[in-house]
Chains A and B, each alone.
Chain A
């Protein structure tokens, strides 16, 4: 069985500060890992994904995440927060098979202080 745990349901940072959203996973097979962003009343947009290639994954909007097998983590970071980054962020895992379902974490709401 696969699962993800997002530490912190709400994170607040100042504009220009570092963003760090934590995600730990559990998987019995090599996982595929994803970060999605959701703005209010909208669907999900893929920020980045890890599919067993480079462990440091760069995504859109200046976000990146590092896969650390030893720590079973896939934390999302951005060096400098922007007001437009305020949204809900979901970490997710799948086993990568052709019809695999994605299991989502509980989500972290990111707020940006002016």
Chain B
């Protein structure tokens, strides 16, 4: 089956530093990937749609300069949280849509804690 990986699974950083999270589709190509964040006991909120070779599309209220997305290949998208602050602490989940298919496959998530 289709597998999506995320790295790291857990990261703790100091306030003001930047953190990069990788999302990879391991056995399929994904022109489109999605980034979500999930606060404790809440649902997933879409942050942005990542398109290979072009700029990401951000949802309303998401700061594009703070959450940098790069989708440089058909199997890799990265999310960089710049100048992280404690309020950015959350569970970040990516998903990848199989090209030509209609299903999104989700990664295992990355737990970010900003001290």
Task: Give residues in A with beta carbon < 8 Å to B.
Answer: 32, 36, 41-46, 49, 51, 90, 96, 98-99, 101-107
20 interchain pairs (CB within 8 A)? A42-B109, A43-B108, A44-B95, A44-B106, A45-B106, A49-B103, A51-B102, A90-B43, A96-B102, A98-B97, A99-B31, A99-B32, A99-B49, A101-B34, A101-B49, A102-B95, A105-B43, A106-B43, A107-B42, A107-B43
Interface of B is mostly: strand
**Roughly how many angstroms separate A42 CA and B104 CA in the complex, as a whole number?**
16
**Roughly how many angstroms separate A5 CA and B14 CA in the complex, as a whole number?**
37
Q: Would A104 and B102 count as touching, CB distance under 8 A?
A: no
Q: Would B111 and A43 count as touching, CB distance under 8 A?
A: no
Sample of 17 more A-B contacts, CB < 8 Å, known A42-B108, A43-B107, A105-B43: A36-B106, A41-B91, A43-B4, A43-B93, A44-B44, A46-B103, A98-B32, A99-B49, A101-B34, A101-B46, A101-B49, A102-B34, A102-B46, A103-B46, A104-B43, A106-B43, A107-B42
* Nearest A residue to B6, CB-CB: A43
Does B105 belong to the interface (CB within 8 Å)? yes
Q: Would A46 and B111 count as touching, CB distance under 8 A?
A: no
For chain B, the count of residues having a C-beta within 8 Å of the partner chain is 24
Query: Which chain B residues in 68-115 approach chain A with CB under 8 Å?
Result: 91, 93, 95, 97, 102-109, 111
**Roughly how many angstroms separate A98 CA and B51 CA in the complex, as a whole number?**
12
Report the 9 A-B pairs with minimum CB-CB distance, sorted nearest first. A44-B106, A43-B108, A43-B106, A43-B109, A99-B32, A104-B43, A104-B44, A106-B43, A107-B43
* Nearest B residue to A97, CB-CB: B102
Which residues on A sit within 8 Å (CB–CB) of B95?
44, 102
**Roughly how many angstroms separate A44 CA and B46 CA in the complex, as a whole number?**
14
Q: Would A99 and B97 count as touching, CB distance under 8 A?
A: yes
